[in-house]
Amino acid sequence: PVKPETMSYFRFGPHSAYFTTPDPAALEKMTAACRAGQWHSADFRLFQIFPNFIVAHFMADHGFWYVIVLQHVPDGPDRTTMRSWFYPAPFPAERGIFKRWTRGLTDLVRPYVVGLVLRHVQRQDQAICEQHQLVARQMPVTRRAGAFERRAVWFEEAHRAAMERDGAATRTAPRG
């Protein structure tokens, strides 16, 4: 099970991030290392870019990191299409002698396996979201968020602020 003391949440503007490190300065350290061109991950990182992008950085195989970009495209009030793209991380993997020896095969197979696993996880996520939608009307107006839902509350706050700023929350359709 995931324990709260092994993760960090960050909020920056309407955006947020979740890292599997307890370091409260992990985002600042990552930013500085990226600016210096020296960042190399050691843990899972997920960025929610408001309103509809998610960028996750994960290890697919020991030392081989990938980035997945997810875009949620609203098709209507009750339907969303999720698009995704994944890429090997732009820094070299750590390779011992065995990995260098097997590289020809593993470099061919790894992207295929990563794609299969990501599609499986996305289908699971979609099924969970669809089940949540079945009972969404039963939820109280005031949200009760657990320790692992901090980013969801931040997203709802950012969404509400965007709607108020744009006047969308007070607009009504013209009557015919």
78 — pLDDT class (breaks 50, 70, 90): confident
Q: Tell me the pLDDT tens digit for each residue of 47-60.
A: 999 989 999 999 98
Q: Quote the CA–CA distance of 120 and 115 in Å, as a whole number.
A: 9
* pLDDT at residue 140, rounded to an integer: 67
* pLDDT at residue 1, rounded to an integer: 65
CB 118 within 8 A of CB 86: yes
ω into residue 14 within 30 of 0, thus cis?
Answer: no
CB 48 within 8 A of CB 151: yes
Please say if the pLDDT value at position 170 is more than 80.
no
Q: How large is the C-alpha radius of gyration of the chain?
A: 20
Helix (H, G, I), strand (E, B) or coil at 2: coil
Task: Write down the pTM of the prediction.
Answer: 0.77
Residues pairing with 84 in the sheet: 70
Q: Quote the CA–CA distance of 56 and 18 in Å, as a whole number.
A: 9
Please say if the pLDDT value at position 174 is more than 50.
no
Please say if the pLDDT value at position 12 is more than 50.
yes
